[in-house]
């Protein structure tokens, strides 16, 4: 994000905006009082820049896949069921993904969400709200995420030390 914002904003604003947009996408709260203050003063800007990501299909797919994995980890850490049969998280993901193309799944995704802790699904709901969530394959392969994110970063010109 910083690379995108650096040419448009002064350095301090670009730094805070980058962090705020990433926090918004991942449903995280600001990490310090200065970041919190920046967010309060620039809430509309942060929301607009977070929504702008919806225009980059590849990035939306990467963010959705990454958050799918992170939220699944939250589900497991919280003692959630992990079997393929009757796994409320996987059922929710499938219903949510299908609801984007078939409205008959909207009610089911809402019902399935009620079986899960808010902290587990909040980032996915945020992505949906921002227009960034993309339907996931029936069984996303979490092991592919790192390689896909790394390839995207390299293509975007991110330098790794």
pLDDT category, 97, cuts 50, 70, 90?
A: very high
- Give the mean pLDDT of 4-12: 82
What pLDDT is attached to residue 113? Answer: 94
Domain ranges, ordered by start, for the chain: 1-55, 57-161
Percent with pLDDT over 90 in the chain: 64
What pLDDT is attached to residue 127? Answer: 97
Give the residue, 16 or 144, on which the prediction is more confident: 16
pLDDT category, 87, cuts 50, 70, 90?
A: confident
- ∠ CA 106-45-16, nearest 5°, is 110
Q: Average pLDDT of the chain?
A: 88
Whole-angstrom Cα distance, residue 2 to residue 54? 17
DSSP 3-state assignment of 114? coil
Give the residue, 3 or 128, on which the prediction is more confident: 128
Q: What is the pLDDT of residues 21-77, one digit of tens each?
A: 999 999 999 999 999 999 999 999 999 999 999 999 999 999 999 999 899 999 999
pTM of the shown model: 0.84
Whole-angstrom Cα distance, residue 153 to residue 145? 12
Half-sphere exposure of 110 (CA within 13 A, CB side): 5
For CA atoms 141, 124, 78, 84, the dihedral sign is negative
Length of the chain: 161
Q: Is the pLDDT of residue 141 over 70?
A: no
Whole-angstrom Cα distance, residue 44 to residue 48? 6
């Amino acid at each position: 994000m910083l690379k995108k914002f650096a040419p448009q904003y002064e350095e301090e604003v670009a730094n805070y905006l980058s962090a705020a947009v990433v926090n918004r996408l991942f449903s995280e709260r600001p990490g310090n009082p200065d970041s919190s203050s920046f967010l309060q003063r620039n809430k509309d800007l942060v929301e607009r820049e977070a929504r702008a990501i919806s225009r980059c299909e590849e990035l939306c797919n990467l963010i959705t896949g990454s958050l799918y994995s992170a939220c699944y980890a939250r589900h497991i850490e919280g003692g959630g069921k992990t079997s393929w049969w009757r796994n409320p998280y996987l059922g929710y993901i499938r219903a949510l993904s299908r609801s984007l193309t078939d409205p008959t799944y909207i009610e089911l995704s809402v019902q399935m969400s009620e079986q899960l802790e808010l902290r587990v699904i909040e980032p996915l709901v945020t992505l949906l709200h921002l227009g960034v969530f993309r339907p996931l394959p029936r069984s996303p392969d979490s092991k592919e995420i790192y390689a896909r994110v790394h390839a995207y970063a390299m293509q975007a010109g991110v330098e790794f030390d």
